[in-house]
């Protein structure tokens, strides 16, 4: 698993969703005329920015709103939003701009290093739900919109975190009940 400064070694970020606003309209209809830009307006009312150096891609809406997905840490998402803005400016599709990124969701996986008896855990863990006929993991509502999905293998997924500290806190909360 990738180790990110401050992130516990048991946790690895899989995807960061980050947004920004160029505060100006963008002509997404012309995207297919330029390198590293694409759109399929018959299918979606947006365009995409993706070059060979980007890990994820940036979705661009005609309103100037941007969404970065597919990056592995928040700083990388910020860089890709900035890069998208620079590409749009290079093609004169926008004027000067300032990116103020906002992390909306970090999805990460974790490994507790041991098998978990989910039925037993569901009886003791508050704000949890385990319905194996519907989903093979236990769903634990940590706080606000943060959720952990824990599987019998001891592996799991966090969704809804906005910071590395929230990921670490989520692992602490899960471990508290696993070791209870």
Q: Please state, for a pLDDT cut of 70, what percent of the chain lies above it.
A: 97
Same domain, 76 and 150: no
Residue 91 lies in a domain: yes
Task: Determine the pLDDT at residue 4.
Answer: 64
Give the helix/strand (H/E) hosting 118: helix 118-124
Place of tokens 């005609």: 62
Residue that finishes a domain, picked among 72, 104, 136: 104
**172 phi/psi in degrees, rounded to 5:** -60, -45
Q: What is the pLDDT of residue 180?
A: 64
pLDDT tens-place values along the chain, 180 residues long: 344 678 889 999 999 999 999 999 999 999 999 999 999 999 999 999 999 999 999 999 999 999 999 999 999 999 999 999 999 999 999 999 999 999 999 999 999 999 999 999 999 999 999 999 999 999 999 988 899 999 999 999 999 999 999 999 999 999 999 876
Q: What is the pTM of this model?
A: 0.89
> CA-CA distance, 153 to 32, in Å (whole number)?
45
Number of domain units in the chain: 2
CA distances from 7 to 95, 156, 172 (A): 37, 16, 12
**Cα–Cα distance measured from residue 61 to residue 71, given in angstroms and rounded to the nearest whole number:** 19
Domain end position, chosen among 104, 128, 149: 104
29 and 97 in one domain? yes
β pairing state of 57-60 and 47-49: antiparallel
Pair 67, 142 in one domain: no
Main-chain phi, psi angles of 84, to 5 degrees: -60, -45
Q: Are residues 126 and 84 in the same domain?
A: no
Range of the domain at 32: 16-104
| Structural domain includes residue 122 | yes
């Amino acid at each position: 698993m990738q180790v990110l400064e401050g992130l516990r070694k048991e946790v690895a970020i899989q995807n960061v969703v980050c947004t920004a606003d160029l505060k100006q309209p963008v002509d997404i209809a012309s995207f297919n005329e330029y390198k590293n830009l694409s759109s399929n307006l018959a299918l979606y009312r947006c365009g995409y920015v993706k070059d060979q150096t980007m890990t994820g891609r940036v979705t661009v809406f005609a309103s100037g709103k941007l969404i970065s997905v597919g990056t592995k840490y928040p700083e990388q998402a910020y860089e890709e939003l900035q890069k998208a803005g620079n590409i749009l400016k290079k093609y004169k599709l926008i004027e000067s701009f300032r990116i103020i990124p906002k992390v909306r969701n970090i999805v990460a996986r974790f490994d507790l290093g041991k098998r978990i008896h989910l039925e037993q855990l569901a009886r003791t863990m508050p704000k949890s739900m385990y319905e194996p006929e519907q989903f093979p993991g236990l769903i634990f509502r940590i706080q606000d919109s943060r959720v952990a999905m824990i599987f019998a293998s001891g592996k799991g997924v966090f969704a809804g975190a906005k910071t590395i500290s929230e990921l670490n806190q989520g692992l602490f909360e899960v471990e508290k009940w696993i070791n209870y």
